[in-house]
């Protein structure tokens, strides 16, 4: 998706309005949201749906930051700055989910704390 | 040229001289109480940070001495178990959040604008706000002590949950008293202060550099401050969330760490250490910066391997985000996770080692002048290396199973925190003292305090390695005489007293110097960076002309190109004067007022559900109205702050570049 | 280097008074958003971590959620983002009037979102019997979405302040009018998202309109007074202090607003949609 | 650069001295424990089981590697510090040298060397992570499982494989003991770690490193005692007021001894009858004058410390001069004073579970979770004022005192005079 050439920045001048461009982006976002909602009801493989949902959200995400938040027209440094936080947060979430998803982290049910009989369920 | 000129403004594009609004007249006092609380001058703010931090360092040290006194002999009854628990909790919390962090913040404030050739930080009033918010946090954390002296203040003593406050000990069931609520809010507010301050420094360093000062010419200290600021803004949110969750658990019945509701206390540990480990690098990176400034100065040689040192600083910072679980090797994470975090932790040794090697490279072939700051800096390298080595021993997870929560850990982190961070801070205080107070600390006394501290420190903490290996657990208020720990503890306590004497000497000498010390010129150490090019103490506007930077060691360059620089400078002063003089930001009441609002709000928030009792009488059935009052005060102040705008005034210099006695008129 | 700080055209992508050319405020906000990523990262992690191994007796999300309403809220928030982008677009061309319209629009969409959330929370608590404390799902869900809602509410407040600021006369006075204006904006927005929107949603779900009107007559009156005040004060003319040079301020708030929107994009997928699989 | 002869020599001498000194330390490394006499009862250096041993061996690998690095880097640093110090006024104000650019090969070489040295640590680390994690496959067969549960501030141990039939066919319960974990030597023990309140940590330094007892988490650890012995354990995670003295003991017995112990444990609580008591005339200590000594040593006497296992074994036999009347009186008091509501004495009246099981408290070597040696005097003092030894303990707060509004008030049902305590002590010590 590349922006129309006309809206490239031209230093020192009023920029051409991005009015219509923004509206187009918003429409795309709305459509993607619609697709997402429909997707969860489709009888497709779970993995496929998850993959698609994640991809679609990522696309929405990128549209908003690059166009609405005009990272695309700003200095590269803003993108770097934001992505430091974003990637670190993503990495941390990923790690946490893996840590808690591991077998060692299956929580004890409250009963098993007291009753040794329930131990067998854990081991 | 135009670019350089524009630099003198702190405001955004086109700070048209807006008429400000006058509910309170804008403060103008430069001295006196109001001068200090409304100041936006980064140097004054830095000094206040420094003063408070040193005060808390001494208080934290006093707490440490009480801890050591209790442990001097087995089965001692100097303090009760409860008081001991409060002591180590507050000792750790104080030293980390109220001593080392703000001392670093002090140096950020004092040095960054000057080192980058700016006249202030990017958002001066925000800077004032950070300071006072920090003070609010400090008050909330310590207010619990009062209940030991005034029984009607029912806080239940100072916080007693350990500096990392593991859930579920922090839940209402196990610590019903207010001290934990105050701890939660206190840390939260200190975090807020740090985030705001760090955002400010990030913008300052990235955006307000003098012409010619490229990132790869930035003094290493400033670089490390930048990395530290990034670590702060990225690490603190994790603990902010964790604290919110505890707060909700305690006050609103959520189940985040409530076991009966399905909560998993281990989540607190993860969130805490996601913050906590980067935090230790937040503590050590600025010290690495001081040392990187001091070593070259006293070796008469530029820093060896500048790009590598910078790069490894960044690497340490970011690898540091991937190792947090090494504090949790004993929580049963399973083999894979343990292995991954173990290896990642070891990896940190590599960039850290690179720094050590390059510091040695800096010394190599130089002419080492062992003045007091240099002694502390060299002490830093030795001691930090030792602390790092015991860190590596911890990183071997199975071995750590024996060391975790034992005195071996205490030994490790005091080597990195005192031998590392504190030594470097003491070096830095000594090094920059002449700059900000215009007086030189006497060498003899400086060196003497170094040696007492050095010996005392090692006597205190070296034996702790063996105490730990001999099975002494940490956070124990008493121990038995048959455990083989008697001699080690006795020795450590004696060492701690000696260390106390050393610290006392160090600060006593500073106080003496402040009043009576030998006056010194602008550049007592033959320094390399821009701060040494301006008068001691620096004038309010720092630079009569924003310098143009031509080389990495900017001031050394200036010294060898005097004529060229003088010419450049004269032209700049003239040009600036013709543009209306030096623009300085106005002082403001509102940062202080908003902090007061925050204090009132948070203090009452902590005891929301308790009745308000004044002189034994129930005045209000809950603290809600007071909490809301505080909140409203905070919001109103912020609004008025936004309305008043940065404004500012001009300073006009005479032909020699000296400010005249009177300030320029206000808009 | 020929550009000057205060004169000539304003270049919205560069600020030649700073070392990088990025305006200070923009840098500040981007750095803050980087930090906020970690903030929401930790919150969302908390929620998901507890979804991995739900304890017995936990609430069952799909029985509680109302995906139509949430999809609608998501759509509304996206559209508010559009209006926000248009507001920035307008002020960058010096068009204060259009900026105001867009700001108001953004705020109202924000309020619809918030109202939806107020309704949603009330519905979950009263009809689905899921409270903050009776299940871990309740705890993490309300805290996460509530924190996001708080962000939106702060955004609305900031927008309101910005909106009022666009009326500030150039001569520096007008503080009182400004203050009253702000209060009026807050009142209208508050009534909108605490009373009107949730009320209307209930009407959509079959409650009687008359009931709603008669029950909330007082707040509606306050809202009406606020609206009238807004209209009256909004007519004030004269030379304004606000103008194209303030584009950076609007843009900063815009960054914040869009960020809150992208956080919702993630929450919508991770917290709502994935539960349906 | 000019170097003088004497400079050379000084540096050389210094370096030799340093190396010799550190070499000495290194050589003695394996005997560190003895050199510094660090063989206390909780020493991690003098190990008695394979898990602790592998941990110590790994630790020594890290010591060797880091000491090597420290010596090498330190030597270079020391050399630089001495060799390049400014020797004159002129030196101190010398023109700064131009910026050096170093040698990339040296930098990369040093990085590579660091990585290589870390690999030396990493390999045994990885091996031991898996080894110490769980009982090795080939030993799983004869491993024994016990459940350890942390309470503020004591430990409960359960033996799920050793069940006791309840009277009247009321089902089976596992054997329960408190604060002393008795296991067979040479058998891998897998301990399931549970807690009822906050986080505790289970640590027997001579047998195995610690693993935390986390609420809502199925943690476990394993250890094996190489030989019969008496081992000190300690809670290692801060858990509130009396964390410091939340201790326990592990007693490893030979197979035969263990079976004997187990048989006795499975019996109901011992009831003393008048005729069964071997008498000798030695009178009981008089407790009326017994003062609480502020500095009283906790835990063991000299005799006890010298051979704790023997002392423990001695505790297993009934006392010489038991007085049946006193025991019976004590048993009554135990009921009357509501002790039963918190303590179980299996076969007698006690059924409570808030405190440690006391079915065989008389046979324990310590009381109050390893805090006091189990003598008559100590037991007396403990019952008289538990909070003196264990601030905050739940027997004092909740038993002897009850919550009234926000304040703790003495519980009228639970006031004891010295005489009564004496009888209680007799009763409790009869429970072997
Ligand atoms: C300034 C603070 C600081 C710093 C810099 C460090 C640095 C390191 N720390 Fe430390 N640490 C703390 C502060 C710090 N730590 C604190 C406060 C705690 C306890 C918290 C609590 O529980 O209360 C702690 C606890 C702690 C633990 C948990 C222990 C436990 O509770 O069980 C671990 C485990 O891995 C660890 C490891 C390390 C490592 C590997 C480094 C490395 O960064 C060290 C790297 C440095 C070197 C290795 C030396 C120089 C390098 C060379 C000369 C190169 C060659 C060397 C090799 C190849 C080995 N630390
Ligand atoms: C930067 C951080 C820092 C610093 C500098 C120190 C400094 C010291 N620390 Fe601390 N320490 C921690 C961080 C730090 N510590 C942390 C994080 C913990 C863990 C807490 C926890 O478990 O939760 C800890 C825990 C800790 C313990 C373990 C407690 C326990 O687990 O039971 C001990 C025990 O010896 C100790 C000792 C000391 C000593 C003797 C000093 C000395 O260096 C102090 C030297 C300073 C002085 C001696 C002050 C001298 C001042 C005067 C003489 C004048 C006083 C006058 C006025 C106040 C007006 N510390
Ligand atoms: Cu249990 Cu410490
Ligand atoms: Cu760490």
Q: What is the spatial distance between Cα B469 and Cα D30, in angstroms, rounded to a whole number?
A: 14
- Supply C69's token pair: 């309403």
**C2 in a structural domain:** no
Confidence of residue A74 (pLDDT cuts 50, 70, 90): confident
CA distance B477 to B454: 27
- List the single best residue of B330, B466, B486 to mutate versus D (max D Cβ within 10 A): B330
Most B CBs within 10 Å, among D54, D119, D240, to test the B interface: D240
Cβ neighbours for C222, distance < 8 A, ≥ 6 positions apart: C187, C191
Residue B115 phi, psi (nearest 5)? -65, -25
Residue B615, by phi and psi: left (phi above 0), alpha (psi -120 to 50) or beta? left
Q: Which of D100, D132, D369 to mutate to test the interface with B (most CBs of B within 10 A)?
A: D100
pLDDT band at A10 (very low <50, low <70, confident <90, very high): very low
CB contact under 8 A, D208 and B401: yes
- Please give all residues whose beta carbon lies within 6 A of any atom in ligand 1, as ranges: B 280, 283-284, 326-327, 329, 345, 348-349, 352-353, 356, 385, 388-389, 391-392, 394-395, 400, 403-404, 409, 412-413, 416-417, 420-421; D 66, 69, 73, 114, 117-118
The residue ranges of every structural domain in chain A are: 18-98
* More confident call, D385 vs B657: D385
Give the separation between CA D147 and CA A119, rounded to whole angstroms: 9
Helices (H), B328-395: 335-347, 349-363, 372-395
Residue minimizing CA distance to atom 5 of ligand 2: B418
List of chain B residues whose C-beta atoms are within 8 Å of the C-beta of residue C28:
122-123, 199-200, 202-203
**For this structure, is B279 an active site residue?**
yes
| Dihedral angle computed from the Cα positions of residues B457, B460, B462 and B465, in that order, rounded to the nearest 10 degrees | -140
Residues D313 and D250 in one domain: no
Closest CA to C155 of C95, C108, C195, C92: C108
> Would residue C111 count as lying in a domain?
yes
Domain containing residue D321: 274-430
Note if B120 is an active site residue.
Answer: yes
Q: Would you list the DSSP string of B124-157?
A: HHHHHHHHHHHHHHHHHHHGGGHHHH-TTS-S-S
Beta carbons within 8 Å of B639's beta carbon, 6+ residues apart: C161, C182
Beta strands D144-151 and D189-195 are parallel
Where are the strands (E) in D78-171, listed by range?
A: 144-151, 154-165
The closest of B566, B565, B658, B576 to B212, measured between CA atoms, is B565
**Are B413 and B275 a contacting pair, CB within 8 Å?**
no
Q: Where are the alpha helices (DSSP H) in B438-481?
A: 443-469
Ligand 3 pocket: which residues have CB below 6 Å? D 150, 153, 200, 235, 237-239, 243, 246
Across the interface, do A25 and C258 touch by the CB < 8 Å criterion?
A: no
Using CA atoms, how far apart are residues D49 and D252, in angstroms rounded to an integer? 11
Return the DSSP state at D355. S
In the reported structure, the alpha carbon of residue B409 is separated from the centroid of ligand 1 by a whole-number distance in angstroms of: 9
| CA within 13 Å, CB half, C186 | 10
| Range C191-195 average pLDDT | 88
Spatial separation of the C-alpha atoms in residues B408 and B414, rounded to whole Å = 10
- pLDDT of chain D, 432 residues: tens digit per residue: 344 444 555 555 555 666 566 555 554 444 455 545 678 889 999 899 999 999 999 999 999 999 999 999 999 999 999 989 888 877 777 777 777 777 788 889 999 999 999 999 999 999 999 999 999 999 998 899 999 999 999 999 999 999 888 777 778 889 999 999 999 999 999 999 999 999 999 999 999 999 999 998 999 999 999 999 999 999 999 999 999 999 999 999 999 999 999 999 988 888 887 655 555 544 444 443 445 555 555 666 778 888 889 989 988 888 877 888 889 999 999 999 999 999 999 888 888 899 999 999 999 999 888 888 888 888 998 999 898 888 889 999 988 999 887 788 888 888 888 889 999 999 999 998
A101: pLDDT strictly greater than 70: yes
Dihedral over Cα of D29, D30, D34, D38: its sign: positive
Q: Is residue C9 part of a domain?
A: no
Chain B partners within 8 Å of D214 (Cβ): 265-266, 331-332
Pairing mode, strands B649-651 and D144-151 = unpaired
Mean pLDDT over each residue of chain B, to the nearest integer: 89
Only one residue has tokens 């209209």, namely: C231
Domain boundary among D233, D262, D291: D262
Q: What are the start-end ranges of the H helices in B396-442?
A: 397-403, 407-414, 423-437
User: Out of B14-18, B401-405, C63-67, D279-283, which region has the weakest mean confidence (pLDDT)?
Assistant: B14-18
CA distances (Å), origin B382, targets A42, A82, B103, B386, D233: 65, 38, 22, 6, 36
> Has residue B347 got a pLDDT over 90?
yes
Sheet holding D219-223, edge to edge: D172-178, D154-165, D144-151, D189-195, D219-223
Overall domain count for chain D: 2
Which tens digit of pLDDT belongs to each residue from D91-141? 777 777 777 777 788 889 999 999 999 999 999 999 999 999 999 999 998
Of B113-127, B653-667, D323-337, D345-359, the least confident: B653-667
**Residue-range definition of the domain harbouring residue C167:** 15-276
Query: Taking residues B510-524, what's their average pLDDT?
Result: 90
Chain C, window 39-98: residues with a beta carbon less than 8 angstroms from a chain A beta carbon: 40-42, 44-45, 48-49, 52-53, 55-56, 67, 71, 74-75, 78-79, 81-82, 84-86, 89, 92-94
Tell which of D219, D236, D262 closes a domain: D262
**Which residues lie below 8 Å from residue D415, measured CB to CB, with a gap of 6+?**
none
pLDDT for the residue C10: 67
pLDDT at A37 over 90: no
Residue C1 lies in a domain: no
Look at strands D208-213 and B617-620 and give their pairing.
Answer: unpaired
CA distance B436 to chain D (A): 23
B86-107 per-position pLDDT tens digit: 999 999 999 999 999 999 999 9
> Could you say which of A108, A110, A116 has the minimum Cβ distance to residue D217?
A108
For residue D44, the model assigns a pLDDT of 92
pLDDT for B655 equals: 61
CATH number at residue D149: 2.60.40.420
Does residue C7 lie within any of the structural domains?
no
Please name which ligand lies nearest the alpha carbon of B341: 1
Residue range A65-72: average pLDDT?
85
- The answer to the question of residue C260 being in a domain is yes
Q: Which residue has the higher pLDDT, B423 or D13?
A: B423
Q: Which ligand is nearest to the CA of B345?
A: 1
Q: What is the mean pLDDT of chain A?
A: 77
- pLDDT surpassing 80 at residue C44: yes
- Locate A105 and state its tokens: 């982290």
Condensed to tens digits (0 to 9), the pLDDT of residues B608-627 reads: 878 887 777 778 888 888 99
If asked whether residues D194 and D312 sit together in one domain, one would say: no
**What per-residue string of b and e applies to D407-423 under the rule 16 or more CB within 10 Å gives b?**
eeeebeebebeeebbbb
Of D240, D160, D230, D231, residue with least CA distance to D200: D240
Closest CA to D111 of C271, B371, B311, C67: B311
- Residue C256: its H or E element: helix C247-267
CB-nearest partner of B337 from A91, A102, A107: A102
* Residue D196 and residue D51 in one domain: yes
| D180 DSSP β-pair partners | D249
Integer angstrom CA distances of residue C142 from A89, B256, C35, C125: 21, 12, 22, 10
Q: How confident is the model at residue A122 (pLDDT cuts 50, 70, 90)?
A: very low
Q: What would the mean pLDDT of B413-440 be, rounded to a whole number?
A: 95
- Determine, yes or no, domain membership for C21: yes
The reply to whether D248 and D288 lie within a common domain is no
**Highest-pLDDT range among B421-425, B545-549, D213-217:** B421-425
Residues D241 and D309 reside in one and the same domain: no
Calculate how far, in angstroms, residue B418's C-alpha sits from the geometric centre of ligand 2.
9
Q: Of all atoms in ligand 2, which is nearest to the CA of residue B59?
A: 58
**Residue B352 annotated among the catalytic residues of the structure:** yes
Four-point Cα dihedral B262, B185, B238, C135, nearest 10: 20
Q: What is the pLDDT of residue D196?
A: 92
Q: CB distance A113–D215 less than 8 Å?
A: yes
Interchain proximity A57–C67, CB inside 8 Å? no
Please report the pLDDT score of residue C168 as a whole number.
80
Query: Is residue D65 a contact partner of residue B376, using CB atoms and an 8 Å limit?
Result: no
Q: Is residue D96 part of a domain?
A: no
- Residue D381: how many other CB atoms lie within 10 Å: 24
Least confident of A104-118, B574-588, D158-172: A104-118
User: Is residue D257 domain-shared with residue D126, that is, in the same domain?
Assistant: yes
Chain C contact partners (≥3 CB pairs within 8 A): A, B
3-state SS class at B200: helix
In a domain, C263, yes or no: yes
Provide the percentage of residues in chain B whose pLDDT is more than 70. 94
- Nearest alpha-carbon partner for B33 in B18, B24, B23, B44: B44
- Give the least confident one: B217-231, B271-285, D25-39: D25-39
Per DSSP, the three-state class of D220 is strand
Q: Are residues D117 and D204 in the same domain?
A: yes
Contacts of C188 (CB under 8 A, 6+ apart): C223, C226, C227, C230
Report the pocket of ligand 2 as residue ranges, CB < 6 Å: B 58-59, 61-62, 64-65, 67-68, 88-89, 91-92, 95-96, 100, 162-163, 410, 414, 417-418, 421-422, 460, 474-476, 496, 499-500, 503-504
| B277 part of the active site | yes
* Rounded CA separation B363/B295 (Å): 7
The residue length of chain C stands at 277
**B166-215: per-residue pLDDT in tens?**
989 999 989 988 999 999 999 999 999 999 999 999 999 999 999 889 99
| CATH number of the domain enclosing C48 | 1.20.120.80
**Structural domains counted in chain C:** 1
- Dihedral angle at the C-alpha atoms of C49, C54, C55, C60, nearest 10 degrees? 130
pLDDT on residue D2: 42
Return the structure tokens found at B449: 């305090």
Check whether residue D191 and residue D288 sit in a common domain: no
D217 and D308 share one domain: no
Domains of chain B, start order: 21-568+581-588+644-651 (1.20.210.10)
Distance from C-alpha of D191 to C-alpha of D221, rounded to nearest angstrom: 5
For residues C196 and C216, give the distance between their C-alpha atoms in angstroms, rounded to a whole number: 9
Three-point CA angle C89, C94, C96, nearest 5°: 90
Find out whether B100 and B422 touch, Cβ atoms under 8 Å: yes
Dist CA D346 CA D246 (whole Å): 24
Inter-chain CB proximity C78 and A100 less than 8 Å = no
What CATH number corresponds to the domain at position D325? 1.10.760.10
Is the pLDDT at C145 greater than 90? The verdict is yes
């Amino acid at each position: 998706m590349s922006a129309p050439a006309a809206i490239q920045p031209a230093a020192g001048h009023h920029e051409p309005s991005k009015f219509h461009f923004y509206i187009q982006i918003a429409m795309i976002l709305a459509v993607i949201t619609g697709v997402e909602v429909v997707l969860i009801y489709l009888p497709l493989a779970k993995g496929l749906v998850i993959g698609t949902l994640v991809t679609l959200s990522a696309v929405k995400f990128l549209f908003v930051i690059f166009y609405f938040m005009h990272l695309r027209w700003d200095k590269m440094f803003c993108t770097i700055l934001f992505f430091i936080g974003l990637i670190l947060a993503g990495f941390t979430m990923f790690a946490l989910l893996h840590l808690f998803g591991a077998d060692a982290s299956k929580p004890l049910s409250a009963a098993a704390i007291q009753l040794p009989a329930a131990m067998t369920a854990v081991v | 040229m135009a670019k350089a000129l524009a630099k003198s403004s702190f405001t955004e594009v086109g700070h048209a001289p807006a008429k400000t609004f006058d509910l309170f007249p804008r403060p103008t006092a430069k001295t006196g109480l109001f001068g200090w609380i409304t100041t936006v001058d980064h140097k004054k703010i830095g000094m206040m940070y420094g003063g408070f931090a040193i005060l808390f360092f001494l208080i934290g040290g006093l707490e440490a001495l009480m801890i050591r006194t209790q442990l001097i002999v087995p089965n001692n009854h100097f303090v009760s178990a409860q008081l001991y628990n409060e002591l180590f909790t507050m000792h750790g919390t104080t030293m980390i959040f109220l001593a080392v962090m703000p001392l670093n913040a002090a140096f950020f404030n004092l040095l960054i604008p000057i080192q980058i050739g700016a006249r202030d930080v990017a958002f001066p009033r925000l800077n004032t706000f950070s300071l006072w918010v920090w003070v609010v946090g400090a008050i909330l954390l310590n207010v619990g002590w009062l209940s030991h002296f005034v029984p009607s203040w029912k806080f239940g003593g100072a916080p007693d949950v350990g500096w990392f406050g593991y859930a579920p000990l922090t839940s209402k069931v196990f610590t019903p008293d207010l001290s934990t609520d105050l701890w939660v809010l206190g840390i939260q507010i200190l975090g807020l202060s740090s985030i705001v301050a760090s955002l400010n420094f990030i913008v300052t360093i990235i955006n307000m550099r003098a012409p010619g000062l490229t990132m790869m010419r930035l003094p290493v200290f400033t670089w490390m401050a930048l990395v530290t600021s990034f670590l702060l803004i990225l690490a603190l949110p994790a603990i902010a969330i964790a604290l919110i969750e505890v707060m909700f658990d305690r006050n609103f019945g959520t189940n985040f760490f409530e076991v009966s509701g399905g909560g998993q206390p281990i989540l607190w540990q993860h969130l805490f250490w996601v913050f906590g480990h980067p935090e230790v690098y937040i503590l050590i990176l600025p010290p690495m910066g001081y040392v990187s400034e001091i070593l070259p100065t006293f070796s008469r040689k530029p820093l060896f391997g500048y790009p590598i040192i910078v790069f490894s600083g960044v690497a340490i910072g970011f690898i540091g985000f991937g190792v947090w679980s090494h504090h949790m090797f004993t929580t049963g994470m399973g083999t894979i996770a343990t292995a991954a975090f173990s290896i990642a932790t070891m990896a940190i040794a590599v960039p850290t080692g690179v720094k050590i090697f390059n510091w040695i490279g800096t010394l190599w072939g130089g002419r080492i002048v062992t003045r007091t700051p240099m002694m502390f800096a060299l002490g830093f390298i030795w001691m930090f290396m030792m602390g790092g080595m015991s860190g590596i021993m911890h990183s071997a997870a199975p071995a750590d199973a024996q060391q975790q929560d034992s005195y071996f850990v205490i030994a490790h982190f005091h080597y990195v925190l005192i031998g590392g961070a504190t030594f470097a801070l003491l070096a830095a205080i000594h090094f920059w003292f002449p700059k900000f107070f215009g007086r030189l600390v006497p060498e003899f006394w400086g060196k003497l305090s170094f040696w007492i501290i050095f010996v005392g420190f090692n006597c205190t903490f070296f034996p702790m390695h063996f105490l730990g290996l001999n099975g002494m657990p940490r956070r124990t208020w008493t121990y038995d005489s048959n455990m083989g720990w008697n001699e080690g503890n006795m020795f450590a306590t004696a060492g701690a007293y000696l260390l106390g004497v050393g610290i006392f000497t160090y600060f006593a000498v500073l106080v003496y110097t402040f009043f009576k010390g030998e006056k010194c010129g602008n550049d007592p150490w033959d320094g390399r960076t821009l701060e040494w090019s301006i008068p001691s103490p620096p004038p309010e506007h720092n630079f009569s002309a924003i310098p143009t930077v031509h080389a990495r060691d900017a001031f050394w360059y200036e010294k060898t190109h005097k004529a060229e620089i003088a010419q450049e400078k004269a032209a700049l002063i003239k040009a600036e004067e013709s543009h209306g003089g030096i623009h300085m930001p106005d002082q403001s009441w509102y940062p202080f007022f908003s902090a007061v609002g925050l204090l009132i709000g948070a203090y009452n928030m902590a005891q929301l559900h308790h009745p308000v009792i004044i002189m034994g009488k129930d005045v209000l059935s809950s603290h809600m109205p007071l909490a809301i009052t505080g909140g409203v005060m905070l919001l109103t102040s912020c609004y008025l702050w936004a309305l008043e705008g940065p404004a500012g005034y001009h300073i006009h210099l005479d032909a020699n570049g000296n400010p005249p006695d009177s300030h320029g008129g206000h808009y | 280097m020929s550009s000057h700080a205060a004169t000539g055209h304003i270049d919205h992508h560069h600020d030649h008074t700073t070392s990088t050319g990025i305006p200070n405020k923009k840098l500040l906000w981007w750095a803050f958003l980087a930090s906020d990523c970690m903030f929401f990262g930790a919150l969302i992690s908390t929620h998901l971590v507890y979804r991995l191994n739900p304890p017995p007796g936990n609430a069952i999300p799909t029985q509680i959620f109302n995906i139509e309403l949430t999809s609608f809220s998501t759509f509304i928030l996206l559209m508010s983002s559009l209006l926000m982008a248009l507001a920035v677009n307008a002020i960058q061309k010096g068009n204060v009037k259009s900026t105001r319209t867009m700001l108001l629009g953004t705020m109202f969409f924000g309020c619809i979102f918030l109202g939806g959330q107020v309704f949603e929370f009330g519905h979950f608590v009263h009809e689905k019997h899921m409270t903050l404390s009776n299940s871990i799902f309740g705890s993490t869900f309300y805290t996460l979405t509530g924190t996001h809602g708080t962000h939106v509410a702060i955004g609305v407040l900031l927008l309101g302040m910005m909106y009022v600021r666009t009326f500030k006369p150039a001569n520096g006075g007008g503080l009182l009018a400004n203050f009253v204006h702000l209060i009026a904006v807050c009142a209208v927005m508050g009534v909108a998202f605490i009373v009107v929107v949730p009320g209307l949603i209930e009407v959509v779900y079959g409650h009687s309109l008359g009931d709603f009107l008669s029950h909330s007559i007082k707040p509606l009156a306050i809202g009406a007074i606020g609206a009238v005040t807004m209209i009256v004060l909004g007519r004030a003319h004269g030379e304004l202090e606000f103008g194209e040079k303030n584009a950076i301020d609007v843009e900063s708030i815009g960054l914040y607003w869009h960020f809150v929107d992208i956080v919702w994009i993630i929450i919508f997928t991770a917290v709502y949609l994935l539960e349906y699989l | 650069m000019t170097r003088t002869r004497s400079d050379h020599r000084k540096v050389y001498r210094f370096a030799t001295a340093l190396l010799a000194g550190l070499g000495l330390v290194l050589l003695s490394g394996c005997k560190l424990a003895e050199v510094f006499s660090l063989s206390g009862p909780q020493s991690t250096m003098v190990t008695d089981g394979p898990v602790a041993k592998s941990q110590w061996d790994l630790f020594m690998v890290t010591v060797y590697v880091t000491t090597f690095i420290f010596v090498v880097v330190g030597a270079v640093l020391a050399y630089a510090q001495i060799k390049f110090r400014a020797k004159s006024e002129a030196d101190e104000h010398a023109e700064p040298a131009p910026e050096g650019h170093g040698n990339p090969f040296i930098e990369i070489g040093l990085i590579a060397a660091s990585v290589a040295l870390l690999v030396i640590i990493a390999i045994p680390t990885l091996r031991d992570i898996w080894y110490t994690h769980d009982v090795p496959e080939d030993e799983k067969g004869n491993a024994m499982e016990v459940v350890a549960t942390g309470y503020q501030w004591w430990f409960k141990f359960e033996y799920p494989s050793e069940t006791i039939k309840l009277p009247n066919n009321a089902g089976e319960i596992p054997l329960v003991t408190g604060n002393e974990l008795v296991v067979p030597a040479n058998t891998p023990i897998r301990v399931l770690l549970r807690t009822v309140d906050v986080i505790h940590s289970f640590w027997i330094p001579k047998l195995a490193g610690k693993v935390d007892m986390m609420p809502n988490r199925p943690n476990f650890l394993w250890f094996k005692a190489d030989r019969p012995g008496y081992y000190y354990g300690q809670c290692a995670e801060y858990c509130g007021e009396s964390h410091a003295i939340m201790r326990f003991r592990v007693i490893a017995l030979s197979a035969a001894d263990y079976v004997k112990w187990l048989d006795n444990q499975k019996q109901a609580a011992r009831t003393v009858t008048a005729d069964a008591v071997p008498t000798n005339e030695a009178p009981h200590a008089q407790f009326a004058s017994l003062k609480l000594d502020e500095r009283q040593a906790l835990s063991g006497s000299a005799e006890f410390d010298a051979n704790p296992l023997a002392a423990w074994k001695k505790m297993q036999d009934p006392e010489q001069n038991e007085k049946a009347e006193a025991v019976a009186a004590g048993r009554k008091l135990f009921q009357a004073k509501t002790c039963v509501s918190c303590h179980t004495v299996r076969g007698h009246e006690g059924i409570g579970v808030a405190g440690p099981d006391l079915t065989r408290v008389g046979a324990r070597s310590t009381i109050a979770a390893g805090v006091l040696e189990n003598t008559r005097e100590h037991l007396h003092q403990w019952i008289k004022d538990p909070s003196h030894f264990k601030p905050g303990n739940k027997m004092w707060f909740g038993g002897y005192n009850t919550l009234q509004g926000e304040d703790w008030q003495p519980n009228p049902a639970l006031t004891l005079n010295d005489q009564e305590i004496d009888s209680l002590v007799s009763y409790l010590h009869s429970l072997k």
